[in-house]
């Protein structure tokens, strides 16, 4: 060992090591310090004389090196890397390298330390800057989205507590990648909410693909969603077809009316959500797609689960971030603003200068709007088109809105022992039958009831009603 100590007396050798900005420390096979360069003195905030001759164990106890990489090398008999702290609250990435003789015994340990305090601080500042940039970017996208909506035909606005709570929830959810389930009555604007989530997310520049699971026949929906390979079935496109999932890659797939998805396809959708892979019809190899799923329904999915019409595992996979969109009757204080906005929009579209009389405004504000936002928009456009004068009066309203008759409900007319659900279904059927007998067509009936024609036809099938156009 005396021979080794003489090596460190070589000025040429020590000048080279002292020129290095990283700390260098050399110890013997027992952990006793033989030599260290000036950089190592600085990082340890001590002098060479207080370190040379001391063992790694003692230096660690004194807090000079915490932990001692030399001691770790002796314990593991191999190269070790660690982060060391000094009494000056500085951080160093330190590696200890054993030098062994022919018998495999450690003769020397060379420790190399590099100051990473500034790097760690810079990375921390960078992470904070990135988080701030992400927040600013989301705010900019929000402003841009609101400006786009101002000129949109589907503007969704309000200041009621129910609406503000909804928008606050949506804005928080938008920055995540988690699956979202939107619930609410028909016509409340579930598709608008889904689009807002996409536009405020990091996927905003990627595709937003929408599919209505209740509007596509069962025989076609699988091929629409997952696509198919060449020759998969009779009548298939000769070159195959990419499904909507593949088209939404890197973007968002909005599955509207998810409760109408056939149960035999629910397992396939579940597999895709879990593993981000799917098998096209007629395919033998799975395909991958990075897609965020947003689903929406006006059905009670939990009830459908209990009835065996919807898979429970799919329901809980979709229901990670549930959002309920309030109906218009829950947002009474928003109705005036919604009416005025749509009035301006359709006045401009149809080159009119209509205004709502105070009587009409009061009547429409007290109305329950079973068709929600969609019904409100449709009614305002209809009034703008058919009104004989610039002032829209009560006589311009549809017949069911012209008078406010008090509803007299006689429970005795319904069979005793029936549940509330059964009674409500009976009432719904009676309303549909009465409206159809007056308006004669399903399109006109749906319009007057403030619902979509597809929703009306689902009710007709549910109650096994026989309506003839």
Q: How confident is the model at residue 348 (pLDDT cuts 50, 70, 90)?
A: very high
> Which residue(s) pair with 211 in the sheet?
255
CA gap 292, 276 in Å, rounded: 10
Statement: residue 25 has pLDDT above 70: yes
Instruction: Tell me how far apart the alpha carbons of residues 266 and 308 are, in angstroms, rounded to a whole number.
Output: 12
Question: What would the CATH number be for the domain defined by 152-324?
Answer: 3.40.50.300
* The pair of three-digit structure tokens given for residue 18, joined into one six-digit string: 């002292």
At a CB cut-off of 8 Å and minimum separation 6, what does 126 contact?
A: none
| Fold assignment, 2-115 | Beta-Lactamase (3.30.450)
**Confidence band (pLDDT; 50, 70, 90) for 237?**
low
Spans of all domains in the chain: 2-115, 152-324, 328-402, 411-462
3-state SS, residue 277 = strand
Is the pLDDT confidence value at 310 over 90?
A: yes
- 233: pLDDT strictly greater than 70: no
Q: Do domains 2-115 and 328-402 have the same CATH topology?
A: no
Contact 357, 429 (CB under 8 A): no
CA distance 380 to 450: 12
Distance CA 39, CA 28 (A): 20
Q: Residue 407 has what pLDDT?
A: 45
Mean pLDDT, residues 346-352 taken together? 93
Phi and psi of 199, rounded to 5°?
-65, -25
pLDDT tens-place string over residues 156-186: 678 888 888 998 898 889 888 899 999 999 8
CA angle 380, 383, 387 (to 5 degrees): 155
For residue 95 the two structure tokens come to: 């590696």
DSSP state letter for 288 = E
CATH pick for 328-402 out of 3.40.1670.10, 1.10.8.60, 1.10.10.10, 1.10.20.10: 1.10.8.60
Report pLDDT for 292: 95
Model confidence at 128: pLDDT above 90: no
**Angstrom distance (rounded) from CA 247 to CA 55:** 65
How far apart are alpha carbons 391 and 388 in whole angstroms?
Answer: 8
Rounded to 10°, the helix 335-350/358-366 angle is 120
Eight-state DSSP code of residue 241: B
**pLDDT band at residue 349 under the 50/70/90 scheme:** very high
């Amino acid at each position: 060992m005396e021979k080794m100590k003489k090596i460190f007396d070589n000025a040429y050798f020590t000048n080279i090591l002292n020129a290095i900005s990283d700390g260098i420390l050399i110890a013997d096979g027992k952990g006793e310090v033989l030599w260290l360069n000036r950089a190592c003195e600085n990082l340890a905030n001590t002098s060479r004389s207080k370190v040379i001759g001391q063992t790694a164990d003692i230096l660690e106890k004194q807090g000079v090196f915490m932990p001692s990489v030399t001691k770790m090398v002796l314990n593991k008999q191999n190269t070790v890397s660690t982060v060391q702290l000094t009494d000056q609250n500085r951080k160093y990435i330190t590696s200890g390298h054993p030098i062994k003789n022919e018998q495999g015994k450690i003769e020397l340990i060379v420790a190399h330390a590099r100051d990473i305090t500034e790097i760690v601080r810079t990375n921390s500042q960078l992470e904070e800057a990135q988080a701030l940039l992400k927040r600013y970017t989301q705010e900019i996208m929000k402003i841009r989205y609101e400006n786009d909506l101002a000129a949109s035909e589907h503007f969704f606005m309000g200041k009621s507590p129910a609406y503000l709570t909804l928008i606050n929830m949506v804005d928080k959810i938008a920055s995540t990648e988690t699956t979202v389930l939107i619930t609410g009555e028909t016509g409340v604007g579930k598709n608008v909410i889904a689009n807002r989530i996409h536009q405020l997310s990091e996927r905003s520049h990627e595709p937003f693909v929408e599919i209505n699971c209740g509007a596509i026949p069962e025989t076609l929906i699988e091929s629409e969603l997952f696509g198919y390979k060449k020759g998969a079935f009779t009548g298939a496109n000769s070159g195959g077809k990419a499904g909507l999932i593949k088209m939404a890659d890197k973007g968002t797939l909005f599955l509207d009316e998810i409760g109408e998805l056939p149960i035999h396809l629910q397992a396939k959708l579940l597999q895709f959500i879990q593993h981000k892979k799917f098998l096209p019809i007629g395919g033998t190899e799975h395909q991958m797609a990075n897609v965020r799923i947003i689903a929406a329904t006006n059905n009670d999915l939990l009830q459908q689960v209990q009835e065996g019409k919807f898979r429970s595992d799919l329901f809980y996979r979709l229901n990670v971030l549930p959002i309920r969109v309030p109906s218009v009757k829950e947002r009474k204080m928003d109705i005036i603003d919604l009416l005025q906005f749509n009035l301006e929009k359709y006045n401009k579209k149809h080159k009119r200068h209509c205004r709502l009389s105070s009587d009409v405004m009061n009547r429409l504000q007290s109305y329950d709007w079973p068709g929600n936002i969609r019904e409100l928009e449709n009614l305002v456009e209809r009034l703008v088109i058919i009104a004989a004068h610039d002032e829209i009066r009560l006589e311009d309203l549809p017949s069911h809105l012209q008078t406010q008759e008090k509803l007299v409900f006689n429970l005795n007319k319904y069979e005793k022992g029936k549940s509330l659900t059964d009674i409500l279904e009976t009432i719904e059927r009676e309303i549909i039958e009465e409206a159809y007998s007056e308006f004669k067509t399903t399109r006109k009936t749906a319009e007057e009831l403030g619902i979509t024609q597809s929703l009306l036809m689902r009710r007709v099938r549910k109650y096994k009603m026989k309506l003839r156009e």
